[in-house]
Amino acid sequence: MAEHSSITETSRVAAMGERALDNSRVVAALHAPFRDGSRPVRAAQWSAGVVRDSYLVRWLTAEPEPDVVVIDLRETWTVGPVIAVLDWLAPHGLRMWHGSIARRVLNRTTTAFRDAPVKLTSVVVLGVALARLALSLGSTGTVSFVAHLVVAALAVAGLRVDWTWEELRESRFGRLAAALFVPPEPPDEN
């Protein structure tokens, strides 16, 4: 019963507030300049029409011309010689790449990274942190020294993680990172 009376009291106060706002001279004065047909509203509507009908807006939003111009860059004087050199070098470069040590090292590194990305990254970070500590021993401040030790400790902890690239990508952190770096969907045509 007490709950019902508090609800009716609340609705009675709300109704009084609405009546006070409807009859308020301050609210009426604030709304007056923005009624339909008032000068500011007509000026805004006129400005919107001018912008919408302007040549620049029509040009920017026009449909592209159906005639497509195709330029063969091989026939130009500036880009043509560069393309000719690249065309001549490409087969030789590919032949050298297929038998190179660099390709084998890159393939092995890629496979190792897919098998244990956190572990491999931790090895690199640990090596860099220890090298920086060794090179700057005695010349760094306390904060820098502690920061290098923290990074090295995190890298050592990362050596114990043996997730594969697929497991890392399917984890909650991997999905979050993917969501952060995926470009947004293009807007609808309408």
* pLDDT in the model for residue 66: 73
DSSP H or E segment with residue 126: helix 117-135
Residue 148 neighbours by CB under 8 Å, 6+ apart: 129, 132, 133, 140
* pLDDT in the model for residue 127: 92
* pLDDT in the model for residue 49: 82
CA 103 to chain centre: 32
CB neighbourhood size of 88 (10 A): 10
For the chain, give every domain's residue range.
Answer: 2-61, 116-181
The Cα–Cα gap between 118 and 160 comes to 9
Give the residue ranges of the chain where pLDDT is below 70.
Answer: 1-7, 9-10, 13-14, 17, 21, 26-35, 68, 189-190
* pLDDT in the model for residue 124: 92
DSSP 29-49: HHHGGGSTTSHHHHHHHHHHH
Q: Name which of 181, 187, 130 is nearest 154 in CA terms.
A: 130
Q: What is the CA radius of gyration of the chain?
A: 35
Model pTM above 0.75: no
Helix and strand numbers (H, E) in the chain are 10, 0
Residue 73 neighbours by CB under 8 Å, 6+ apart: 79, 80, 83
The Cα–Cα gap between 163 and 161 comes to 6
Q: Name which of 83, 85, 151 is nearest 121 in CA terms.
A: 151
* pLDDT in the model for residue 47: 82
Distances (CA, A) of 35 to 26, 44, 46, 117: 15, 12, 15, 64
